[in-house]
Amino acid sequence: MHKPAITQVAIDTTIAARWSGRAYDAKKSVSHAQLIALLEAARWAPSCFGDEPWRFVVWNKASSPEAWQQAFDCLVPGNQAWVIDAPVLLLTCADTLFGHNQKPNRFAQYDTGAAAENLCLQAANMGLMAHQMGGFDADLAREKFNIPAQYTAMAMISVGYPADISTLSGDTLARETAARTRKPLAQLFFDASWGQGVKDVI
Amino acid sequence: MHKPAITQVAIDTTIAARWSGRAYDAKKSVSHAQLIALLEAARWAPSCFGDEPWRFVVWNKASSPEAWQQAFDCLVPGNQAWVIDAPVLLLTCADTLFGHNQKPNRFAQYDTGAAAENLCLQAANMGLMAHQMGGFDADLAREKFNIPAQYTAMAMISVGYPADISTLSGDTLARETAARTRKPLAQLFFDASWGQGVKDVI
């Protein structure tokens, strides 16, 4: 299903095409070269002091089915309902300390969000669909996968080929077919002073 | 200057092309339609609960020179040295509270980083160059622009057309011409368990 962003002026087609769908094709796996492309995209995100504070764990159902299942078990039931068909899961983590001086990095989560977005865009570029989720048990993931305390678990991401929406039902289907929405530009983006919304393109 | 990312496999050309250069063409301004394209790209980033926690303030030197100067004054001298030629400045802020229940949003900075990355990619897509900076006085920016306490100031971003590197000198020129580097993939991205680096594409 394609649900491109509706914008006042044309934007990058990959950014417009990316969206967080739920219908995955359980029969199509993601190749190792595709995985590396996803990670290369994340790797080349910008970061404060070039710290690259992101760490991602990747679980590929095809090569590591047991570990994939353990990662899946960390998700809340509402996400498990549709993630079950996704061949790849990831967990993004942010390094709380700068590498060069071991002091707190206040940009760690911000920069990790950028890297994750690059990954999602690269997925869209390759005809894959990536969906980030905050709905998982971060403590359980830390315990299962021995994530050091220095790293904050941020989001899980499902990746795979999109399937026909007929594979979904109920609430998940309703969310899949609902129109994508965003707040008006002027509510989020201000011109020269806080609260003064930018003017639309006429 | 073009310094595309060097990757094991091909990635999205916009993601590969984006980089944080410093040589701006002071004579070329950014149009309102281009600004809206940058903001539309940011607007369509994903966010937890669809909260869209990002707020951006935009200062366009062409239309608001005094406010642009006030924003510029918040930067550290090392950034001012080259930002002086950038026609547009932005400040990204993260809403610390969810809109639907006013509880802390632990994904606010992460999601704001994604929106900012979309903006930087859209700049690259249009032949503009965006450069994010952590080096600014966030307290001063809050005071000058009346940013409410609920929002955390994250990064400033310069945007404009790239110029020939002959406009730079000294340390700034050296940084501009240095090769772009990233840590090895296996150091940041793990296969199935923490610390087990992903294998390269052979």
Q: Which domains does chain A have, with CATH numbers?
A: 20-179 (3.40.109.10)
How far apart are the C-alpha atoms of B112 and B114, rounded to whole Å?
5
- Mean of the pLDDT values across residues A79-100? 97
pLDDT score of A3: 93
Cβ burial A33-52 (10 Å sphere, 16+ → b, else e): ebbbbbbbbbbbbbbbeebb
Closest CA to A135 of A111, A120, A157, A162: A157
- Mean of the pLDDT values across residues A123-140? 98
ipTM more than 0.85?
yes
- Mean of the pLDDT values across residues A94-104? 98
- Mean of the pLDDT values across residues A175-202? 95
Query: Using the 8-state DSSP alphabet, how is residue A198 labeled?
Result: P
Query: What distance, in Å, lies between the first and last C-alpha atoms of chain A?
Result: 31
pLDDT score of B39: 98
pLDDT score of B122: 98
How far apart are the C-alpha atoms of A83 and A23, rounded to whole Å?
8
Residues 73-112 on B with a CB inside 8 Å of A are 94, 106-107, 109-112
pLDDT score of A202: 74
Residue A157 has pLDDT above 80, yes or no: yes
- Mean of the pLDDT values across residues A148-158? 98
How far apart are the C-alpha atoms of B61 and A19, rounded to whole Å?
34
pLDDT score of A8: 96
Pick B52's closest partner by Cβ from A45, A145, A182. Answer: A182
**B141 touching A (Cβ < 8 Å):** no
Q: CB A55 to CB B188 under 8 A? A: yes
Residues 9-48 on B with a CB inside 8 Å of A are 9-12, 14-16, 18-20, 32-33, 35-37, 39-46, 48
From the first residue on, what is the mean pLDDT of each consecutive set of 10 residues in chain B (202 residues)?
94 98 96 98 98 98 97 97 97 98 98 98 98 98 97 98 92 93 97 97 82
pLDDT score of B202: 74
* C-beta of residue A67 within 8 angstroms of C-beta of residue A55: no
* C-beta of residue A49 within 8 angstroms of C-beta of residue A103: no
CA distances from B5 to A36, A111, B164, B180 (A): 14, 17, 20, 7
Q: CB B15 to CB A44 under 8 A? A: yes
Residues 170-189 on B with a CB inside 8 Å of A are 181-183, 185, 188-189
Pick B118's closest partner by Cβ from A36, A46, A117. Answer: A117
- Residue A72 binned pLDDT confidence (cut-offs 50, 70, 90): very high
pLDDT score of A167: 87
- Mean of the pLDDT values across residues A120-149? 98
